[in-house]
Amino acid sequence: MSQITQKLRAIMALDPDRAEIDFDGQEYSWGDIARVVHAVEAGLDAMALPAETRVGVMLRNRPGHVAAMLAVLATDRCLVTLNPALPDTRLVADIAGLNLAAIIADADDLVRDGIAAQLANEGMGVIAIGSALDLVAVQSLPTADLSPTTAPGVAIEMLTSGTTGTPKRVPLARSAFDASFAAFTRYERGREFVDKPQLRSGVTIVVNPLTHIGGIYGCIGALIAGRKIALLERFTVDSWVAAIKRNEARVAPAVPSALKMILEADVPREDLSSLTALISGTAPLDPDTVDAFYARFGIPVLANYGATEFAGAVAGWTIDDFRAHWSTKRGSAGRIHADMVARIVDPDTGAVLELGEQGVLELKGAQLNNALQWLRTTDRAVLDEDNFLFIRGRADNAIVRGGFKVHPDEVVAALHQHPCIREAAVVGVADARLGEVPAAAIILKDGSSPPAQEELKTFLKGRLIAYQVPVHFRYVTDFPRTPSMKPSTPGLKALFKTSS
C-alpha cells in the first residue's frame, strides 16, 4: 500500500462532520464523501476486482467524481482517466480497446449516444455516480469471459493534454506520486510529507480539469493535506472570484489565459484581498502578466513547471523566492525541486552545456519512475547558477520556413505585446513554395477592434526577424483547446485549413 493510499484512508476517518468540498456554494463533509467512497468500493468488490485492476473513470469536476477517484486510489486499483468532454463518437472510440474491467461515470454520461452499447460490447462492469454525492448504483457486472487487466505499481493511467497531437495515456507509478508529493510538500512552511495525517485550515481551489495532471494533482494534494477543496466545474471569472470570497482562500490557481481574463474584467481589488499568492502552470507564463497582476492586486503569481510524464511539477516559485528573486529571475518557471536534478544539453550531440547556455532540458529524479535515468524533455531551456529554470519554448514544434527555423513561442511573445491582443497562438501551415509558414490565431481584448493585417505585420517586423512574421492571421473568440486549456496544435492547424 502506497503512502498516498495510507494517507487518504487516514484523513477520511479523522472528522466525518468536517466540510471538505465546496461546490457551487453547497458544502459536503468528509462523511458525505466517505459514504460514496465506501459504496463505490463495495461495487468494485462485488465485481471481484483485485488490487491493481485497471478501472476507468469519466472524470468531471464534481463532488461525486472526487469520491470515485478516491475509491479507486484508496483500494490500490489503477485509475484510468477518461475525458467526458470529448464528443460522443470520440469518447466511444477511446473506450474501445482499453480492455477495462469496469467503468465509473456520471449517470448522465452513461446515457450518451453509443456509450451504453460500447460498454455492453466490451463486457465491462458499470457503476453510475451522481454529480453531487447522491447516487451510486451498480448497473452491470463484468461478463464472465472478461479477464481483468492489471497495472502493477501504477496509480493512474493519465491522459496527456494532447497539445501537439493525439492525447496518450502515461502510466504514473504510486512510488512516483509519493516522491512527487514529498518534494512538493517541502514548498510549504512547517510541513513534511511524512507528518502524521491531520486536518488543516485553509482551502484549495481546484479549477483545472481532473482529467489533466494539474487538476488531479491539486485535488489529491489537498486531500492528503487535509484541506478543504473549493471545486469549480469550469473557469469563469465570476465563479472563480465567488469561490475565493466565499472561502477566504489564501492561494488559488489560474492558468495564464485566466489571469488575462481576470485583469480585463477589472475585478475589484478587495474581492481578492484574502489571497497571498496565485499558482499558475500548464502553459508558458508571460512575465508582463505577472507584473501587471502584482501591480493591480499586490498578489505574487507563482509559476511552476511540470508535465503528466513527470507525475506533477518539478520546478516552481515559492513566495519567499518571489520576494527575494523576481526582479533578477524574472520570467523563470521557478527553482528546480530539491529532489530533482536538471541539466541542459546540446540537442544534437547530447553534450552537457554550461550554466546560462540554452539547449534541451534533461531531468533525473525518483518521481520520474525511470530507475533514476536522465529523461530528455522536448523543451528548450536555460538553467542558472541558483537552479532557476527558464523555459524558452518547445524544441519539437519549430516551423521550418524555407530553411529558416521559426519557434512559435517567440512569435507569440511578440504578438502579446500588442495592446489589442489578449492571447495568441502560432502554428505552422503548409505552403507550396516554402514548405511551411507561421499562422497566428488571435483573441482580442474585450472592446478592441481587430488591427488590419498589414498594420499587425508592421508591428511585428519591429520585434521579429522578417521570416518569423506570420503569413496568415485569424481572429477568433477562442482557440481549439486541450482539457488543460492549452491551445491545441492539431485544432489550430484544422482551423487554418477551413479558413483557406
Neighbours of 311 (CB within 10 A): 30
Contact 82, 56 (CB under 8 A): yes
Q: Are residues 168 and 272 in the same domain?
A: no
Q: Are residues 406 and 325 in the same domain?
A: no
Cell triple for 228: 478543504
Dihedral in degrees, nearest 10, Cα atoms 402, 404, 406, 407: 140
Do you know the residue count of the chain? 500
Q: Are residues 246 and 380 in the same domain?
A: yes
d(CA 38, CA 44): 10
pLDDT given for residue 126 in this prediction: 96
Is residue 226 a part of any domain in this protein?
Answer: no
Q: Are residues 385 and 428 in the same domain?
A: no
Q: Are residues 354 and 425 in the same domain?
A: no
Is residue 7 a part of any domain in this protein?
Answer: yes
Which residue range is the domain that position 481 belongs to?
399-499
Last residue of some domain: 122, 149, 173?
A: 173
The pair phi, psi for residue 341, each rounded to 5°, is: -125, 135
Q: Are residues 243 and 378 in the same domain?
A: yes
Burial 204-232 (b: 16+ CB within 10 A, else e): bbbbbbbbbbbbbbbbbbbbbbbbbbbbb
CA distances from 351 to 344, 385, 388, 396, 467 (A): 9, 18, 20, 18, 30
d(CA 173, CA 371): 12
Cell triple for 191: 510541513
Q: Are residues 330 and 475 in the same domain?
A: no
pLDDT given for residue 21 in this prediction: 95
pLDDT given for residue 113 in this prediction: 92
Q: Tell me, what CATH number does 120's domain have?
A: 3.40.50.980
Q: Tell me, what CATH number does 471's domain have?
A: 3.30.300.30
Is residue 185 a part of any domain in this protein?
Answer: no
Burial 404-440 (b: 16+ CB within 10 A, else e): eebbbbbbbbbbbebeebbbbbbbbbebeeeebbbbb
Q: Tell me, what CATH number does 275's domain have?
A: 3.40.50.12780
Cell triple for 292: 501587471
pLDDT given for residue 186 in this prediction: 62
Is residue 198 a part of any domain in this protein?
Answer: no
Q: Are residues 150 and 55 in the same domain?
A: yes
Is residue 225 a part of any domain in this protein?
Answer: no
Last residue of some domain: 359, 394, 429?
A: 394
pLDDT given for residue 260 in this prediction: 87
pTM for the whole structure = 0.79
Cell triple for 380: 528548450
Q: Are residues 163 and 255 in the same domain?
A: no
Spell out, as residue ranges, where the chain has pLDDT lower than 50: none
d(CA 397, CA 391): 14
Q: Are residues 368 and 407 in the same domain?
A: no
Is residue 291 a part of any domain in this protein?
Answer: yes
Is residue 212 a part of any domain in this protein?
Answer: no
463 CA to centre of own chain: 31
Each residue of 127-179: pLDDT tens digit? Answer: 999 989 989 999 999 987 777 789 999 999 988 765 555 567 889 888 887 77
Q: Are residues 390 and 369 in the same domain?
A: yes
Cell triple for 114: 453509443
Average pLDDT of the chain is 89
Q: Are residues 253 and 372 in the same domain?
A: yes
Each residue of 167-217: pLDDT tens digit? Answer: 678 898 888 877 777 766 665 655 666 677 788 888 999 998 898 888 888
Is residue 296 a part of any domain in this protein?
Answer: yes
Q: How many domains does the chain have?
A: 3
Angle at 75 between CA 70 and CA 79, to 5 degrees: 60
Last residue of some domain: 141, 173, 205?
A: 173
